[in-house]
């Protein structure tokens, strides 16, 4: 098996060439998400502000807000830690050193992970055998999810879906509970 870093770089390149397909998959994937039981049951939802090669999340953020849910988005912290804060909206986000719009840090506003009902986890590749996930390589979500007990899901366009992991699954990797794919919902709980 080729090394994880090489495989990740190739997959990121691949996603860049599939941006149109990813953008087109967004609407049907989001429809599946908002009609799922775990969406209905979630009051506080964590998602990301998407970048290039990712499923666009802005519409999803708006849909959650208009259905009265609280949307929290990540802020990266030193030592590859991450916290979630309420989304202040597009105009009030601050661009991080990685180029990702984030909420300003306010210790009093950090949302405890026990109070996050559903985390929509970003990634670049997912496996349909067990819901394994590969991200951009920061390890932020693996660390964050290691003691998270709520529900996780991911929006997975075809270019991110693999029959089994083509990358190396490691001891710290946390599988995703529900993959939302163009072939339907795949649950691993
Ligand atoms: N839209 C979005 N926001 C997100 C994530 C995401 O995947 N998507 N994250 C999901 O985790 C967190 C940020 N993830 C990051 C992952 C890696 C690096 C990083 O250090 N990149 C290095 C190269 C890493 C390496 O190859 O070792 C760099 O850019 O130099 C930064 C942020 C939080 N916000
Ligand atoms: N629970 C953890 N505790 C400590 N270190 C961890 C943990 N999980 C992952 N790491 C470290 O983080 C690094 C990156 O992990 P990995 O390659 O799985 O990232 P990723 O899941 O692709 O990225 P991300 O979660 O940021 O999207 C690894 O070198 C690993 O040692």
The residue whose CB lies within 8 Å of the most ligand 2 atoms, and thus the one to mutate among 5, 100, 142, is 142
User: Could you tell me the residue range of the domain that residue 82 belongs to?
Assistant: 4-187
For residue 112, give both structure tokens.
């405890």
117-157 confidence digits (pLDDT tens):
999 999 999 999 999 999 999 999 999 999 999 999 999 99
Q: Kindly report the CATH number assigned to the domain that includes residue 64.
A: 3.40.50.10420
Entry field: residues in the chain: 189
Q: What is the pLDDT of residues 82-124, one digit of tens each?
A: 999 999 999 999 999 999 999 999 999 999 999 999 999 999 9
* pTM for this predicted structure: 0.96
Phi, psi of 83 (to 5 degrees): -125, 160
**Predicted local confidence at residue 1, as pLDDT:** 63
Angle between helices 19-34 and 58-66 (to 10 degrees): 20
Give phi and psi for 70, each to the nearest 5. Answer: -95, 125
**The token pair that represents 155 in the structure block:** 């929006």
For a mutational test of ligand 1's pocket, the pick from 103, 140, 154, i.e. the residue with the most ligand atoms closer than 8 A to its C-beta, is 140
Token pair recorded at residue 189: 């709980």
Contacts of 22 (CB under 8 A, 6+ apart): 15, 53, 54, 55, 157, 159
**Domains contained in the chain, number:** 1
């Amino acid at each position: 098996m080729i090394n994880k870093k090489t495989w990740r770089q190739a997959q990121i390149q691949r996603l860049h060439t599939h941006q149109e397909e990813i953008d087109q998959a967004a609407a049907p994937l989001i429809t599946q998400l908002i009609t799922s039981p775990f969406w209905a049951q979630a009051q506080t939802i964590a998602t990301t502000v998407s970048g290039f090669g990712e499923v666009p999340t802005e519409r999803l953020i708006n849909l959650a807000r208009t259905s009265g849910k609280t949307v929290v988005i990540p802020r990266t912290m030193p030592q590859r830690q991450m916290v979630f804060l309420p989304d202040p909206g597009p105009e009030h986000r601050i661009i991080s050193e990685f180029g990702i719009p984030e909420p300003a840090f306010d210790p009093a506003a950090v949302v405890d992970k026990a109070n996050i009902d559903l985390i929509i986890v970003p990634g670049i590749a997912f496996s349909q055998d067990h819901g394994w996930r590969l991200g951009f390589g920061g390890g932020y979500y693996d660390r964050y999810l290691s003691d998270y007990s709520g529900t996780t899901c991911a929006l997975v366009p075809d270019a991110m879906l693999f029959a089994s992991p083509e990358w190396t699954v490691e001891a710290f990797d946390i599988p995703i509970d529900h993959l939302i794919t163009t072939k339907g919902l795949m649950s691993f709980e």
